[in-house]
Amino acid sequence: MAKTILVVDDEERLRSLLRAYLTQEGFRVLAAANGREALRIADQEKPDLIILDLMMPEVDGYEFMRLYRERKHQVPVIMLTAKVEEADAVLGLEIGADDYVTKPFSPRVLVARVRAVLRRTGMSAPQAEVLRVADIMLDRGTRQVSVGERPIDLTPSEFDLLATLMSAPGRVFTRADLLDRVQGTYYEGYERSIDVHVRNLRAKIEPDSHYPRYVETVYGVGYRFTTE
């Protein structure tokens, strides 16, 4: 069955271009001109991935992300932004986006990024491998996480980041290592975006995110999962 992509952008020309290109690549494509319309479509159609412009009228991309994640939807989101400042990308990642592409971009590159994200989030371990470290349980097969008895809602990037760290407790992963594991070959961002995902992850799994118990910073290098 074809994967469903929701394209959200206020530029009709860009929506039409992406619809044509993604359809040609075998995807089912839905489109919305603003965040309000996109929320309605996303609730009804349950897309597999969302391509989201940040700067839109009515409900912009930032507000869409906040409202969408509040609904407990964990569908991956790729942001489109004409802004190149690092702060704008960081803000988008902080509110739950998984990746971003800066305009102008090649449709071929965007499709490659879409396929990479769908491949990563669609993977399930052959035996539904379950990782248990300390009181955290992570199920690769169902992509569920719990701390003690409390279920935790993670974005796809947060899940992959935690799975990577938990797969080798005590091992130090550089930011470049984690970018490769979490975002894949087609990621064009910067290593510091991992810091944003780590901050979001800590806020969800740590008893006190200011004094992390599980995800430890190794200054000047990266991060590791510790049970100490």
Task: Give the CATH number, domain containing residue 183.
Answer: 1.10.10.10
103-110 contacts, C-beta under 8 A, 24 or more apart:
105/80, 107/17, 107/18, 107/21, 109/186, 110/18, 110/51, 110/78
Position 228 confidence tier, pLDDT thresholds 50, 70, 90: low
Say whether pLDDT at 83 is over 80. Answer: no
Indicate the number of domains in the chain: 2
Query: 134 and 114, same structural domain?
Result: no
Query: 217 and 151, same structural domain?
Result: yes
Query: 47 and 117, same structural domain?
Result: yes
Query: 109 and 11, same structural domain?
Result: yes
CATH number of the CATH domain containing 79:
3.40.50.2300
In the chain, helix, strand, coil percent, each to 5?
Answer: 40, 20, 40
pTM score above 0.95: no
Position 186 confidence tier, pLDDT thresholds 50, 70, 90: very low
- 31-76 pLDDT, tens digit each: 999 999 999 999 899 999 999 998 887 888 888 888 888 876 778 8
Q: What residues make up the domain containing 27? A: 4-122
